[in-house]
Amino acid sequence: MKPSDLPLSQQLQAALHLQRQAHLAHPVPTLAERREHLLALRAMLREHQDPLCAAISADYGHRSTHETRLCEIAPAVDGIGHVLGQLRGWMKPQRRHVDLKSFPLARNRVVPQPLGVVGAIVPWNFPVNLSFVPLTYIFAAGNRAMVKMSENSRRLAALLIEKTPAYLPADQLQFFDESGGVGIEFSKLPFDHLLFTGSGTTGRSVMAAAAANLCPVTLELGGKSPAIVCDDFPLATAAERILFVKCLNAGQICTTVDHAWLPEAKIDAFVQLAKTIVPARYPTLASPDYTSIIDARSFERLLAAMEEARSRGATLVPLLPGPAWDAPARKIAPHIVLNAPADCALMQREIFGPILPLRGYRSLDEVVSSVNAGDRPLAIYPFSHDSARVQHLVDHVMSGGVSVNDALFHVAQHDLPFGGVGASGMGHYHGREGFETFSKLRPVFHQARFSAMKFMAPPYGRFADGLLKFLIK
């Protein structure tokens, strides 16, 4: 019987068994072997750029090829290069302090070692980036990996399943399509670590399933990340940068600007700027540079959220000429929303679309109080040249990450850790922290030829009393 003929749960278990046995046979790959795995990942990306872009666009209905190259392939390729340059240093054992009173002549070290087999559950919005970037750190740490793709990435999954064996064997890397029920069974596997990127609701379910195996998890979830424009910052620059990020991938980014806070007196001016900026970038809704909403359910959810806000007194401002949306193409024009009720869907849940509510404020304290009243966001985006104001926001509004005077781009820094906090996630990957997430930082104590602890063996007496007095003072 071929593995593909087995029931789903058995197929997944067989794949895990294959990789775990390979790990046990060779638990600590050398630097040269890890470099080989990373170079294979990079070669796969470089050699299949066009098919990758085509598959993702087909999964979306339409996705800008330039966006795929810019947001997915380029950072993944560049990130591999960064890790290749850092890996030798990351792998070196670390010397640690020894208590010389108790353990004279002994020594300590911390040795980063592979965990074994890591599972990754990948979302549809940046499926290449969010699989290959984690894989970079998983492989750098010396692990093997199984990757479960999204139900909205069926064409991409088929392509990756087809092409991967030419670059890496099944005992090193396998991709899996979501054909129904795969995610549930996948999250139940006893991995050595599990990475999940997606919604908070699904993340809770994944964490609960992993808990049955005491499997550690890294969760990258999302949240309502605000831009906070201060009155000293040039409004035109803020508008250009915020709208670039908000329109990218039609707003379907976990770290996009969910909503923007502006001084009350500057809201109208921001709207006028937006009416100029967005059409200059996307002349019509049919522009090939503008991406579709991923599926009909998401398309209808966004329209319903806008209609709810409008029916309750909000003003919707479409930013492109012509129709506000195109149902067959699943495209929604970028919109600004003014005066949205605080309890409407647009203000209560992550938007994940090209809709930008604006909120006015009179003092930054209002902004701090409002953001802190909700879940901790995945990011905050302060816009100010006043370093004291920026630091005040960094100190008083906790988030997963921060980009100052721009949005999103802290995620693109290879040497910064990336992750959420609270409801927006837990754990980190990217940078050295990514390497350490997928490593066991193993403490190793080396006793000296002569051990002072022999003097602490029973029966205790006056000498032990004196020695303890010396140690405790």
Q: In Å, what is the CA distance from 284 to each residue of 196, 287, 320, 347?
A: 36, 5, 6, 27
CA–CA separation, 425 vs 131, rounded Å? 17
- Strands across the sheet with 439-446, in order? 94-96, 107-114, 439-446
In 115-204, the DSSP E strands lie at 117-121, 144-148, 173-176, 193-197
Catalytic-role residue among 178, 220, 247, 344: 220
Q: Please, which residues have CB within 8 angstroms of residue 424's CB and are 6 or more apart in sequence?
A: 200, 221, 222, 223, 375, 376, 377, 378, 399, 400
Catalytic residue flag (residue 230): no
Any idea what the Cα angle at residue 224 is, between residues 220 and 228, rounded to 5°? 120
What is the rounded CA–CA span in Å between residue 334 and residue 251? 9
Active-site annotation holds for 254:
yes
Tokens at residue 262, please?
A: 């502006």
- In 3D, which of 211, 144, 209, 214 has the Cα closest to residue 181? 209
- The partner residues of 358 in beta bridges, in order of sequence, read 260, 338
Cβ–Cβ < 8 Å for 197, 135: no
Q: For residue 212, which of 243, 231, 187, 229 has the smallest C-alpha distance?
A: 187
User: What whole-number distance in Å separates Cα of residue 294 and Cα of residue 58?
Assistant: 10
Please list the active-site residues. Answer: 220, 254
